[in-house]
Amino acid sequence: MKTNHKPNFRKMVEPDRVRKEVYTDEEIFRHEMERIHETVWIYCGHESQVKNAGDYVTVQIGRQPMIMVRGKDRKINVLYNRCPHRGNMICGDMKGNTGDQFRCSYHAWTFHHDGRLKNIPMMESGYKGTRLTKDSPELCMKRAARVEAYRGFVFASLAKDGPTLKEFLGEAIVAFDDMCDRAPEGEVEIVPNCFRVIQHSNWKLFMENQIDALHPSVTHQSTGRAAHEVEKQLAKKAKSGEAPLSYHMLSAFATVTIDKWDNFQTINYPYGHCILTGYMGLRPQDPDTLAYDKVMIKAYGRKRFEEIVGVNIHHVLVYPGLSVQSPLQQLRAVRPLGVDRTLTEIWHFRLKGAPEAIYRRSLAYYNLVNSPATLINADDLENFWKCHTGLSSDGGDWVSFARHHGRDIENKGVVSSAPNMGTSEAPMRNQMKAWAKYMSGAAQEGSR
């Protein structure tokens, strides 16, 4: 439902600060769902999740329950998970194979994989002379207005007008190129396990935290230190003099201190996307990496290989709900559940054609950092809850994003943090600038 009255969103966002209500107000949240999540391109899933005809997964876009399904024609459809008869959800499970058709559990209406009505029991006698005939569009499962995929990653937009997926992604498309190019076969395959974690805060806190280079050495100090202690002991004992890379993944949270994070850089784009450059030492010279390099050089030639592994990316954020760590093949999709509750769905991928040892690297990160027993996010989640509680109070009206404000480098709408200012709050300023644009309807004119 479109609401007529709306708050003045532009007044809530100043260049270096944002009103607290943006994170806590339920009416603003409803507008966000309508103007942002249910309008722009939202990540649904990876093609390898629905390999066979009839394979489906359910996914939430904004407040809308959707189904991503593979048709007999191999095409992927995204449909509202709703029977046009009485509104019953068609799929109650999170994934499965629906066979040749969807069949509603309430009155046995059946539908093709693209949502077209297949049959209603006793259609002729039941609907003769009514407003409904077999070809009435309102007897079909409603389709997402637009569906597009890029290198296997499927997105849907619930607005019929707006930029194409490629236009929307812009430079952030590198998230998918970087991930797939690192595979000798140029493709990735999803590992069929999703870790799902709920945070007690607004979704924007997650998006800000992902590229907040200032927080790791503070928030994750305890884990970084503890891992570093064990890492040192293991290195002493090891023949190679080095501990397994997985310990470095954890210790880096403490050993990369704030001043070192300043060497990173953020590049920020008009739709709110952000690239955090920097590499956390993931191009080591151990035997596993060298074996992988060999396979890659054989697949791509040395010149192209150097280009691929030289891509300097730590994280790519696709606003408003996707965080991709392409060098480690991790992906987190953000699903807002309410103004103060947010679900993240966490996946990782296999590089097709890469040696097993390289997959294990991605797996180690997935298990240690991204599992529901994570040694890292436990403290982020604690912060999110504390932020939400503090922001809900009358102790202040603003959230500050002033760090290195005025020192960013802007070129044709693209904002980069200045050299040695990687901890600049430029990404948050840019996200909120994009937010204000979306909310006032200026970013993307479109209707469902």
Q: State in angstroms the smallest separation of the CB of 245 from another protein.
A: 13
Give the binding range for another protein (CB under 8 A) out of 64-72, 98-106, 128-136, 217-225.
217-225
User: Among positive and negative, which fits the CA dihedral 197, 199, 203, 209?
Assistant: negative
Per CB under 8 A, the segment of 126-134, 203-211, 380-388, 440-448 that binds another protein is 380-388
Q: What binding mask, one character per residue, do residues 169-208 give for another protein by CB under 8 A, x or -?
A: ----------------------x-x-xxxxxx--------
| Least distance to another protein, CB of residue 45, Å | 17
Query: Would you count residue 352 as binding another protein (CB under 8 A)?
Result: no
CA 165 to chain CA centroid, Å, is 14
Binding residue (CB under 8 A) for another protein from 129, 303, 373, 395: 373
From candidates 375, 391, 426, 428, binder to another protein by CB under 8 A: 375
- The one among 100, 161, 167, 229 contacting another protein by CB under 8 A: 229
The verdict on 425 binding another protein (CB under 8 A) reads no
- Among 266, 285, 292, 269, residue whose Cα is nearest residue 277: 266
Which uninterrupted H or E stretch holds 204? helix 203-210
Task: Give the end-to-end CA distance of the chain in Å, rounded to a whole number.
Answer: 11
**CB count in 10 Å sphere of residue 413:** 11
Nearest residue to 329 (alpha-carbon basis) of 207, 237, 191, 229: 191
The binding track of 234-273 with respect to another protein, each residue x by CB under 8 A or -, is x------------x--x-----------------------
Nearer CB in complex with another protein: 280/363:
363
Distances from the Cα of 328 to the Cαs of 114, 205, 250, 251, 279, in angstroms?
34, 23, 14, 16, 10
381 is a contact residue toward another protein (CB under 8 A): yes
In whole angstroms, give the CA distance from residue 151 to residue 109.
35
- Cβ of 442: how many Cβ atoms within 10 Å? 10
Q: What secondary structure does DSSP assign to 153-177, as a single string?
A: EEEEESSSSS--HHHHHGGGGHHHH
Q: Is residue 95 at the binding interface for another protein, with CB under 8 A as the rule?
A: no
DSSP H helices in 104-159: 123-127
CB of 408 to another protein, least distance (A): 30
Q: How many residues bind another protein (CB under 8 A)?
A: 40
Question: What does the binding site for another protein look like in residue numbers (CB under 8 A)?
Answer: 191, 193, 195-200, 219, 221-223, 225-227, 229-230, 234, 247, 250, 343, 348, 356, 359-360, 363, 366-368, 371-375, 377-379, 381-383
